[in-house]
Amino acid sequence: MSQISTPEADRAIIFDTETHDKHSPRIIESAYGYVDKVSARLDASSIVVQRFNPGAPIAYGAMATHHIVDEDLVGCPSHETFALPADVRYVIGHNVGFDMKAAGNPEGFLMIDTLALSRKVWPDIDSHTQTALFYMLHSTLGLDMNRAREFVEDAHGAATDIQMCGFIFEQLAIELDDLIPRAEDVAGRSLDLMEAMHMISQAAGIPLVIEFGKHAGTPAHRVPADYKRWYRGVENPDPGLLLAMDEGGPTEDGRALYALAKELFGPEPQPCTSTPVQRGFSFK
């Protein structure tokens, strides 16, 4: 299932998976659809859904989420045969790192995480799940809430999830439009929409302030050296937090990303406070 994106690939997709287990996930259902790189709109007619056999029983907790049972996957191809489309460079999803892990962590793809972005754009809502955001945006935009409810009743199928994610992503692109020039300033060059959203998504995933433990509320780069040493030794430390602790670390790319995070989301960030604007998205 090893896969590497090629330099020639330049398209963007919304991607979602359903998996047999949340701890060591194997894909049992995948869905993706292409996104216009200018309008940020998901092409619903391009959606592809596939099912796979994980080669292991589905965990009951996972089954309770997506309602796919082992019998549904008899005769399906192995999860190891899954591959992202060869023409894709940008992979968009809600907590997209989990889906890429389920896909075997293919190399060379640029991820855009709508969960990280949503937490920055709408920090005050009580939940940042896709369904909660879908309802919030329908309410704020004055759209049909009954239609939204009917749609989300099938919210844990991968095809439905990517349509909700597409709706959220299109709105995020509108909300974040004013931040793109600032991302370009840090990058030192002009950026197309997907490049900018990728950079802003990376910056959004860097926790500039410690959110747990005895140093909660302290800027990450100001915690004591012994605490930094301790955190580096924990199992699966957050690489974004490590980068923040080291103010970008030794690499030029790391320092540029840290600078962007501070510029956009630092102690006195320019908040994303614009009212959501509908841009003609429709879902099946």
Number of structural domains (the chain) is 2
| Position 190 confidence tier, pLDDT thresholds 50, 70, 90 | very high
| Position 279 confidence tier, pLDDT thresholds 50, 70, 90 | very low
43 and 102: one domain? yes
Q: Which residues constitute the domain of residue 113?
A: 1-177
99 and 157: one domain? yes
Mean pLDDT rounded to a whole number for the chain: 90
pLDDT tens-digit series, residues 26-46? 999 999 999 999 999 999 999
Q: At what angle do helices 158-175 and 114-121 cross, to 10 degrees?
A: 40
| Position 153 confidence tier, pLDDT thresholds 50, 70, 90 | confident
CATH number at residue 5: 3.30.420.10
Tell whether pTM > 0.85: yes
What is the structure's pLDDT at 155? 64
161 and 27: one domain? yes
224 and 164: one domain? no
| Assigned domain for 185 exists | no
Above pLDDT 90, what percent of the chain? 83
Q: Kindly report each contact of residues 238-242 with a partner whose C-beta sits within 8 Å and lies 24 or more positions away, as own/partner.
A: 238/207, 240/205, 240/206, 240/207, 241/206, 241/207, 241/210
pLDDT tens-digit series, residues 258-270? 999 999 998 644 4
Give backbone dihedrals phi and psi of 29, rounded to 5 degrees, phi first. Answer: -150, 135
Of 177, 194, 223, at which residue does a domain stop? 177
169 and 114: one domain? yes
163 and 252: one domain? no
Given a cut of 90, whether residue 283 has pLDDT beyond it is no
pLDDT tens-digit series, residues 98-152? 999 999 999 999 999 999 999 999 999 999 999 999 999 999 999 999 999 999 9
What is the structure's pLDDT at 91? 98
77 and 159: one domain? yes
Structure letter (DSSP) for residue 189: S
Which is it for the CA torsion 8, 11, 12, 17, positive or negative? Answer: negative
29 and 138: one domain? yes
| Assigned domain for 64 exists | yes
132 and 90: one domain? yes
Q: Name the 3-class secondary structure at 14.
A: strand
